[in-house]
Chain A
Amino acid sequence: MGKTLFEKIWESHVVVEKQNEPDLIYIDRHLVHEVTSPQAFDGLRMNNRKVRRPDLTIATMDHNVPTTDRSLPMLDQTSSIQIKTLENNCKDFGIKLFDIDSPNQGIVHVIGPQLGITLPGSTIVCGDSHTSTHGAFGALALGIGTSEVEHVLASQTLWLEKPKTFEVRVEGKRTNTHAVTAKDIILSIIKNIGTAGGTGTVIEYRGEGISDLSMDQRMTICNMSIEGGARAGLIAPDEKTFDYLRNREYTPKNYESLVDSWRDDLKTDSDATFDKQFILDINDITPQVSWGTNPGMTCDVDEPIPSPDEFSNGDPNQKKGAEKALEYMDLKPGTMIEDIKIDRVFIGSCTNARLEDLIEASKIIQGQKVASNVSAMVVPGSQMVKKQAEQMGLDKIFTDANFEWREAGCSMCLGMNPDILSPGERCASTSNRNFEGRQGNGGRTHLVSPVMAAAAAIHGHFVDVRKLDLN
């Protein structure tokens, strides 16, 4: 019987296989950031251990870096200590670091692919759940905890139980590709499978609706696999993938011969079977807006907010969850999405802060102004994205419209730096999580695409971007 792409990558990385026990899996790339690594390096020191493969490890600082002028001293002392700690750890253990002043600094899941560090068929880990992003290149990319970070630093391996396989097939063609985006596809998938729908599985996204997407868009899809509960998300590499990674700063010297082998090997066999399957037809898909406190609580832009009864389909626990979410979000069932007013707009995060996201958002706001009741910001995913955008003049379009144009980092996606919502503020955000307090204690997050966020900034409330002239 044939094998899935995931099974092929897994089997080619098994170092030790034992009956009824986890496999020891080799890790090809380890990405490190300031928040989930200090305790791992401490563990190495306490046990007098070294980093086994510094040449397969890279680090950057992204979670709590300020996105304002970096020539000024950092006001937050604890963040400053954490950043300094990463610098010291990288120096002590011989790890390549893209520090706060590096032109390569940025969100770790944005810079990995941009630098050609992410490779098809490889195993990639990082102490961050959105590591799944790299799956867009046909890599098996897993988010791990700090103990596992320490384990990989010490041994370049991990004991892992083999996940199940989950085929998510995206069929059809979007009628308006500027208005209906990869973000809407993945939110729609999560809305359907639920936030635990992918637990214990690696999703492979397949079908015309996926192969049509650009690499930036594919990363948005794989990035949110974890919001569907999956261990990782994968997309088989094709010519778009190989073109993207060609001639990057760290693209391997023998790249073309690697591409030749990837072209043959890295695909699911036609007779392979998956443990689970979900099919999404995107012919009629609309822009999506989350209304609750997890990414599964999402509806179409032209729908009213569902009642807890409608949402829960008779499950009393889900109903209770929806009631709590509506109370937190200060929303009533039946309210039309377009009638929801917003206070803040955040265009950023490892989900949606790549060049294409910024280009699409800039088309919406060109020549317009942010509504007077809204404050809006753009935080590019990396300093490279920022520079490219500035070369195209996008920064000018955003600032002319009264958006703030910031330095790269995770920023208000999780609010570990000063970029946070105040209690009660409502935000249209291109990030990945609408959990209670995620963007600031008491803040209310609606997950949307970059074009939906940009349109909401201009109008002061959500609007169906399909109604706007985007061409």
Chain B
Amino acid sequence: MKPFENVKSIVTPLDMVNVDTDQIIPKQFLKLVQKSGFGKFLFFNWRYDENKNIKSDFILNDSKYSDSKILVAGDNFGCGSSREHAVWALDDYGFSVIISSSFADIFFSNCFKNGILPISLDSKIVEKLLKETNSVEVDLKNQIIKTSFDDIHFEINSHKKKILLDGLDDIAQTFQFEGEICQFEEKSTVPSVL
């Protein structure tokens, strides 16, 4: 995984609550067997009508935001299905920071596996960010979002921060505990399936 670097861009304001992963990446695109190329399907049913024409009233179709790397959305972002394809789509489209007042658990966890930084902020600050038209800078090392109106501090678990900054491979880390895993297996009373 590539290490997370500071991000500076305008924010894409997706002013909606309970954005579920079925909207982020509709089911017809879950049949692919690779991780790449999902960006073009991001928010597919909101970006395109039944005839695949662009819906001009959807925020991602506003060319102003085409280079944005930061998505800001309302409460409970990423709820519903566990599909990691949602994060692959956001990443491939170009977003590396998602800001919301709260995230669904599985989506939140999936972000860190793919170098995406989800930031949870007080809903009043999210409201302000939804209206921010200037470029903002997200500095993970110092846990600060620099905006035109304020420098906003954000919280992140130190372990998760390290994973993103170092771009660590989770599995390689876990293999360092091979001894502990073997020990656990020796005393486990749960039988095999087969």
Q: Does A66 contact B (CB under 8 A)?
A: no
Given A16-B177, A39-B35, A441-B45, A250 contacting B193 (CB threshold 8 A): yes
Measured between beta carbons, the chain A residues less than 8 angstroms from B188 are: 26, 28
Given A144-B82, A229-B105, A438-B22, A20 contacting B158 (CB threshold 8 A): yes
Q: How many pairs, one residue from A and one from B, have CB atoms within 8 Å of each other in the complex?
A: 191
Report which of B31, B83, B105, B159 forms a contact with A78, defined as CB distance below 8 A: B31
Say whether B33 contacts A82, CB under 8 Å: yes
Which residue of chain A has the shortest Cβ distance to B182 in the bound complex?
A15
Q: Does A273 contact B (CB under 8 A)?
A: no
Report which of A55, A157, A258, A416 forms a contact with B31, defined as CB distance below 8 A: A416
Interface residues on A, range: 35 or more
Q: Does B143 contact A (CB under 8 A)?
A: no
Tell me the complex Cα distance, A112–B170, Å. 28
Say whether A437 contacts B45, CB under 8 Å: yes
Tell me the complex Cα distance, A423–B49, Å. 11
Say whether B106 contacts A129, CB under 8 Å: yes
Say whether B33 contacts A38, CB under 8 Å: yes
Report which of B81, B109, B159 forms a contact with A21, defined as CB distance below 8 A: B159
Measured between beta carbons, the chain A residues less than 8 angstroms from B109 are: 144-145, 148
Measured between beta carbons, the chain B residues less than 8 angstroms from A121 are: 190
Interface residues on B, range: 35 or more
Q: Does B23 contact A (CB under 8 A)?
A: yes
Q: Does B8 contact A (CB under 8 A)?
A: no
Measured between beta carbons, the chain B residues less than 8 angstroms from A324 are: 16
Measured between beta carbons, the chain B residues less than 8 angstroms from A195 are: 18, 76, 79
Say whether A145 contacts B105, CB under 8 Å: no
Say whether B193 contacts A196, CB under 8 Å: no
Please report whether the interface of chain B is mostly helix, strand, loop or mixed according to DSSP: loop
Tell me the complex Cα distance, A129–B103, Å. 15
Say whether A147 contacts B16, CB under 8 Å: no
- Among A1-55, those with CB < 8 Å from B are 15-16, 20-22, 24, 26, 28-29, 35-36, 38-39, 42, 47, 49, 53, 55
Min distance, Cβ B65 to any Cβ of chain A, angstroms: 20
- Chain A residues near B (Cβ < 8 Å): 15-16, 20-22, 24, 26, 28-29, 35-36, 38-39, 42, 47, 49, 53, 55-58, 63-64, 76, 78-79, 81-82, 85, 96, 117, 119, 121-122, 127-129, 143-148, 150-151, 154-157, 159, 161, 163, 195-196, 199-200, 226, 229, 231, 250, 252-254, 258, 261, 294, 317-318, 320-321, 324, 414-416, 423, 433, 435-438, 441-442
